[in-house]
Amino acid sequence: MRRLLNWKLWGGIIVLFGVLYACVPDGEQEQAELNPADKKLEAQQTNKYYHLKGYLDTLSITMELIEETDYHNEYGRFFRGFYRYDQYGGPIAIFGNLEDDDQLVLTEQGGWDNDPHTFQGEWDERGNFSGLWLNGNGTSAFNFRLVPGDEAVPLQCLTVEDSIRAFPHWEHSPTLFYGAEWLRVKDNWNQPELQRFLDIEIAKGLLGERYAGTDPLPVGLQDQRNDYLSEYVEEMKSLRDAGMLDSLAGPDAFLSMSYNYNSSVQVYFNSPELLTLGYTDYSYLGGAHGMFGTQVKSYDLRTQRVLELRDILKPGYERQIGQALDRAVRIKYGLKSNQALDAILFEKEIQANDNFGISDKGIFFVYAPYEIAPYAAGEIELFVSFEQISEYVQEEWLPATEE
């Protein structure tokens, strides 16, 4: 009898504890279960960077390519980057997938209503890539061959990833996904001072105002993750308190409430004297699609400084560079001379913005989605060669002329 009474007593205590826990406000439960500062972000080397040199038909080309080895989809491993014709110098965006472990197909970003050009060929893990470049109209094909080049800053890729459920005690919960992908100079480079300069500048580019100036990059990323997480949890709590989130709802009910923040670094141009990188931020905060944009920075490696527009162009460049950008749009999207730019863009005229990058042959401007064209156009890179605007280019950036 005493044993039976003891079991009844313990059963009552358990039931009472469950009732009391259920009566604790959700916020107090979450506070007990959620302490993001305790979870340290660990950097992983999951991506690979390739600097490739070679030929497309008779023209020399360079390709800056990043393989996201940790990201696979139904089409295979994912690649993204840019290539350029060395004689001209403008970046052309490419992306694609590795199929059957050795067949890589890269698609050029072009007009959103035209068939794109593609690189299709054999790929190996060392970065050797050869095959056919196919014109989007199907009328022409040219052989290409690319191999790893060594005349560049040696870079390696690092990533961090994390996710957090807004309400850990719910069976299904809105979730925040956080990720960052960045580049750092390889440790075996024999230029330690330049290596430190680039590692600091990449941290600044990735973190912006959150960069403290002395902390290692993962520390800054952890602070950024914690800020995003705190803001997200507070927003989800307010939606729950307003009756817009229900603990009994199925996972499909939270699709638009599961947010995503991701930052990454991409390479536009890499040489021993000049490095141009893009810092891309992507966020999905509900709605039909996410938003993204890239801030471009060019680094003069000879002087260890971030280049500004006045370092490249002389005063009064605006009109001539506007005309050059007009031509660049027409070439990129196949517009005829009698067609207005607003057949493609939002406006009839285009001007330079302050988001620019440098190559050895010219300057390019990057326009975010909705800045000058519909979201479907993606980011738009427009290249202007120094030769086109030579009278407004600082002399040190012009090619040497033969006497």
Domain range summary for the chain, segments of one domain joined by +: 49-148, 155-309, 310-397
CB-CB contact of 123 with 394 (8 Å) = no
pLDDT band at 218 (very low <50, low <70, confident <90, very high): confident
364: confidence class by pLDDT, cuts 50, 70, 90: very high
SS3 per residue for 315-360: CCCHHHHHHHHHHHHHHHHCCCCCCCHHHCCCCCCCCCCCCEEECC
pLDDT at 112 over 80: no
Distances in whole angstroms, Cα of residue 176 to Cα of each of 226, 227, 233, 318: 11, 12, 9, 43
Q: What is the pLDDT of residue 118?
A: 94
**What pTM value is reported for the model?**
0.88
Q: For helices 217-241 and 192-207, what crossing angle results, to 10°?
A: 10
Q: What is the CATH number of domain 49-148?
A: 2.40.128
CATH of span 310-397: 3.90.640.20
Q: In angstroms, how far is the first alpha carbon of the chain from the final one?
A: 112
Contact status, residue 352 vs residue 322, Cβ threshold 8 Å: yes
Contacts of 174 (CB under 8 A, 6+ apart): 165, 166, 167, 236, 245, 254, 257, 258, 259
Pick the CATH number of 155-309 from 1.10.132.20, 3.30.70.140, 3.30.565.40, 3.40.50.300: 3.30.565.40
Average model confidence (pLDDT) across the chain: 85
Q: Residue type at 362?
A: G
* Single-letter residue type at 126: R
Name the H helices within 93-216: 192-207
Lowest-confidence pick of 33-37, 46-50, 317-321:
33-37
pLDDT of the residue at 35: 57
CA-based torsion, 98, 99, 103, 107: positive or negative: negative
How does residue 91 score in pLDDT terms, banded at 50, 70 and 90?
A: very high
pLDDT digits (tens, 9 = 90+) for 223-271: 899 999 999 999 999 999 999 998 988 888 888 899 999 999 999 999 9
Q: Poorest-confidence range of 148-157, 281-290, 351-360? A: 281-290
Task: Determine contact, residues 60/85, Cβ cutoff 8 Å.
Answer: yes
